[in-house]
Amino acid sequence: MQRTCIFCSAQLDDSTSPEHVILNAIGGRLASNMIVCSRCNNQLGHDVDGPLASALEPIRHFLSIKSGDRRKPPPTLRAVETEHGKVDVAPGKYPLLSKANLETQPHGELTKITASARSLEEAAKLAAHGLRKAGITSREDAKQRLEARPPTITGERQPFRQQVNVSLAIGGGAHFRSIAKTAFEFLAIVRPGDAHAERFDVTRSYIVSGEPNPRCVRWALDLQPPMPFSLKALGRTPHSVVVWSRAAAPVAGIVTLFGHLRFVVRLAEVWDCEPFGFAHAVDPISGSSLGVVALNPVPPPLLSETLAWRQVDLVALRLAYEQLLAACADEYETQATRKMVDDATAPVFSSWTMGQKIDGRMVDDLAQSLAREYVGWTDGDIGELQNRDTFIDIILREFDKLSEGKH
């Protein structure tokens, strides 16, 4: 039987782009090229799924979640506010300034140049610009000034100490359309012959056009989805989707993201066929999935009054956010600790030979490497990385490039 797109009825074939039921961007793995055409996939992916995927980027970052197809790494958080200014935070990396900054200010008869940069080379380039900005035009004058008052170089790298503030705002029409789309596409996978039925036109129109429909999706922090399996094997932050109904009852779906953000979807007002129910769950961190499983027996349907829109319970919402953020913090620190240990031990272990007896000196080397990696490098270490004379040479080289018009 020829399959057609559940949104526009275009014909589908083996060349159709696979559509992820739970967003690929947040680790969804269940996909099919037999439910949505490539054009709708691209358009709805941008217009409907894009806003929700963007809003969930902080969670994906802190949980270090790759995309569901494992092609895209966890996102880098850009321009995050900290006490030291805006920084970019790559997964498993130390925060870096979002952009370099140069400040020049009068300091008595002198001009104080302050450069905040992501590397010594970048700092040297800014310092060269600062010299020119202070009116120094000759290399000899620049060298004399630098040698008379050598630049002070400071830097720090402090894992687990730098506070990074991110915001998380989930809900509302833009995000609810994507939630409805997840439930509807899962229905299309488990009941492919029914997804085109007229009873789903209201939901279909809501997803495609975005016309306001408060009856379609609401927060469901008060509901527990009827799951045919335990989610404990998938950790603290699994995604899940379940759809079910019985005769003369609404067709409902419950979508849960990261184990704590739960929504109920009214897919159709009434069902007039045999009872059905299916569930799917996936761990976005590991990619492990419990597949698609039938609900047997089919649970009682959700009543219309249960599906009706209501004001979200702010206390329950706050608790859900707190539990999710606690899970993020635990996972982030676990991964950061693991990376810190790997970075510290790798160079030490590489110097050891197979079968070598471990002595006190080797243990001391390992302990010092671990301590150094945890504490990070500070002012006293800069001299080991780059002495001031060499740094002055780099500044002068950048100064020469400015004079030659190469910057």
Give the integer Cα–Cα distance in Å for 18 and 284: 18
Q: pLDDT tens digits for 340-376? A: 677 767 776 777 777 666 677 776 676 666 665 554 4
Residues 242 and 107 in one domain: no
Confidence of residue 384 (pLDDT cuts 50, 70, 90): very low
Q: pLDDT tens digits for 37-66? A: 999 999 999 999 999 999 999 899 888 898
Residue 273 corresponds to which tokens in the numbers above? 């066929």
User: Is residue 18 classed exposed, middle or buried when 0-12, 13-18 and 19+ CB atoms within 10 A define those classes?
Assistant: middle
Is residue 150 included in any domain, yes or no? yes
User: Taking 90 as the threshold, does the pLDDT of residue 332 lie above it?
Assistant: no
- Fill in the amino acid letter for 74: P
Residue 386 corresponds to which tokens in the numbers above? 């780059």
Residues 151 and 199 in one domain: no
Q: Which domain holds residue 268?
A: 19-56+170-312
Residues 225 and 297 in one domain: yes
Residue 369 is predicted with a pLDDT of 66
The whole-number average pLDDT for the span 91-108 is 76
The whole-number average pLDDT for the span 226-253 is 93
Is residue 272 included in any domain, yes or no? yes
The whole-number average pLDDT for the span 148-153 is 74
- Considering the entire predicted model, what is its pTM? 0.77
Total of domains in the chain: 3
Residue 378 corresponds to which tokens in the numbers above? 């500070």
- Fill in the amino acid letter for 338: R
Confidence of residue 160 (pLDDT cuts 50, 70, 90): very low
